[in-house]
Amino acid sequence: MAKSCSLCGKSSMVGNRIVRHGMPKKKGGIGLHTTGITKRKFKPNLHKIRATVNGLNVRMVVCAQCIKKGSVKKAK
């Protein structure tokens, strides 16, 4: 399966997973401390759908946002 949207080009992004321990200052603690940072991937919500493009039914990989927006017309 493709890892990017056929319409908008949305693909995987890289970020961090941050682990914090301690009690926040506004709750009476001494503040949160970062105890671990690991890399992670944010993946798009992709779906394989059959869509109508120029009168032809084509199979595409499209993200959920494009489907919600109405950017693609599903085949019947």
Whose structure tokens read 């759908």? 49
The rounded Cα 11 to chain-centroid distance in angstroms is 8
Q: How do residues 8-63 score in pLDDT, each as one tens digit?
A: 999 999 999 999 999 999 999 999 999 999 999 999 999 999 999 999 999 999 99
Quote the pTM value: 0.72
pLDDT band at 76 (very low <50, low <70, confident <90, very high): confident
Residues 57-69: pLDDT tens digits? 999 999 999 999 9
Cα of first residue to Cα of last residue in the chain, in angstroms, is 22
Domain boundaries, the chain: 13-69
